[in-house]
Structure 1
Amino acid sequence: MAVFFRASDSGINFEVAEYQEFPRPEPEDAPTETPKPKLKHISVVLLSFGLLCVLQGILNISLRLALTEPTDKGETEISVCPEGWIMFGSSCYYISSQRRSWDNSRRDCMQREADLVIITSRQEQAFLTGFTAAAWVGMTDREQEGTWVWVDGTPLDEDMLQWANGQPDGAYGGEDCADLRTMKNFIGLNDFNCSSRNQWICEKALL
């Protein structure tokens, strides 16, 4: 609304009029503001989390299928030692509590799908030392006196393993089987009469 004043000899007149205000034109090159997407970073986080969940699910399914896939081998593979056996390296060992001859001890191991232990390193010998005072192992010189071989036919490596002090000695008319001794000042492999009764150690491979 506008007010106009007019002066004349007779006095002062004024008029009241209304006017319309028009919006100011915007420059053609004025930048147009683009509204920024809200919560954009939250969407990225949620998408990444969803992809991780999918990948985790695929990995779990793949592992489960791999573990349950049957093998082509005829024999059953074991991944842990049977109850009552102990593990060292890639083998399982059974330490008997009974006493039998060397042949009967080996027969017991075979009934357990194993054999008398074959010791192949000083580390293995050290591990087995101390469980008993004396235990049969899978070694004999029955075929040729003085030539010690393991039950699988491999010869004894004299430099690899340790005999007890003064052994083998072939005492008492012949000692053709070997045991592992853990006695005071008498520790290591020992030749002994095969018919004597000893504890024994069985071994089977951990597949």
Structure 2
Amino acid sequence: MAVFFHSSEAHINFEDGNYQQFPKPETENAATEKNPKPKLKHLSVVLLCCGLLCVLQAILNISLRLALSEPTDKGEAEEEEEEERCPQGWLMFGSSCYYISSQRGSWDSSRQDCVQRDADLVIINSRQEQAFLTGFTMAAWVGMTDREEEGTWTWVDGTPVKRDGLDWAHGQPDDAFGGEDCGDLRTMIDFIGLNDSKCSARLQWICEQTLG
């Protein structure tokens, strides 16, 4: 439809008609409609990946814990088994159990007490064993004597005492006053190590029981 107005001063034309609406560019519509969907899709993928990582991490942690705890548990079980093999109140070093008396007695009475405990006076085989036993008492009987031959020290099992392999207190053995035929372990200021004493002296004592 068209409308025409005529006047002396101006000539005005109006035209009215049907106009076709052009569609928006396809790329714009696609961007508008599809943008939310990729975001949701990406979020789902991220959440899924995080979930899988959490599961894998949990499995890894459990596996490592089992791998690390198995030897420890086994080692602890073996230690507990070994400790149970020593009588209650005894100390363990290497393959031996040690009893340190709280009472005092002569060398012979001390050895008799050890035998009644299915043990004997301790035989010290190394400096490491001697160091372990040093410090529990000021003086304690050990299983060595030179009764059979003066100056020839032997352990209660008949084996010779290796003087070079152990630590003696300064100047010992000295057989002071004659008749110091039994051995003890001293822990005193400036007097630490093996020593010879009269067998009738009243000292504490150390018993040893070999495992196995």
Letter in 1 for 2:158: G
Aligned to 1:7: none
1:9-88 paired onto structure 2 within 5 Å: 80-88=85-93
CA–CA distance in 2 between the matches of 1:146 and 1:112?
Answer: 30
Aligned to 2:137: 132
Match of residue 76 from structure 2: none
SS at the partner of 2:85? Answer: coil
Superposed displacement of residue 174, structure 1: 1.6
Contact 1:78–1:206 (8 Å) recurs in 2:
no
Contact 1:129 1:181 survives alignment (8 Å): yes
Check whether the contact 1:93–1:202 (CA below 8 A) recurs between aligned residues.
yes
Answer yes or no: is 1:168 the counterpart of 2:173: yes
In 2, are the aligned partners of 1:134 and 1:199 still within 8 Å (CA)?
yes
Residue identity matched to 1:90: S
Is residue 79–residue 206 contact of structure 1 (8 Å, CA) maintained in 2? no
Q: 1:115, 1:184 → 2: CA distance? A: 28
Does the alignment pair 1:201 with 2:187? no
1:78: Cα distance to partner?
8.8
Q: Structure 2 residue aligned with 1:121, among 120, 126, 136?
A: 126
Query: Aligned partners of 1:158 and 1:171: how far apart in 2?
Result: 18
Identity %: 76
CA contact (8 A) 2:83 2:92 kept: no
Q: Distance in 1 between matches of 2:84 and 2:210?
A: 10
Cα separation, 1, equivalents of 2:84 and 2:149: 38
Aligned counterpart, 2:188: 183
Q: Give the TM-score normalised by structure 1.
A: 0.63
The superposition leaves residues 151-188 of structure 1 with CA deviations (integer Å, 9 ceiling, x where unpaired) of 00000111110110010010122200000000000000
- Quote the residue 1:148 is aligned against: 153
Give secondary structure in 1 for the equivalent of 2:165. Answer: coil
Superposition TM-score, scaled by structure 2 size: 0.62
**Contact 1:136–1:180 at 8 Å: present in 2 too?**
yes
Q: 2-side partners of 1:150 and 1:165: how far apart? A: 21
| Matched length | 197
Deviation at 1:198, TM superposition (A): 0.3
- Pick one of 112, 117, 121 that aligns with 1:107: 112
Q: State the alpha-carbon separation in 2 of the partners of residues 86 and 173 from structure 1.
A: 34
After TM superposition, give the deviation of residue 206 of structure 1 in Å: 1.8
Q: Give the gaps of 5 or more residues in structure 1.
A: 1-76
SS across alignment from 1:108: helix
Report the counterpart of residue 59 of structure 2 in structure 1.
none
Q: Which runs of 5+ in 2 are unaligned?
A: 1-81
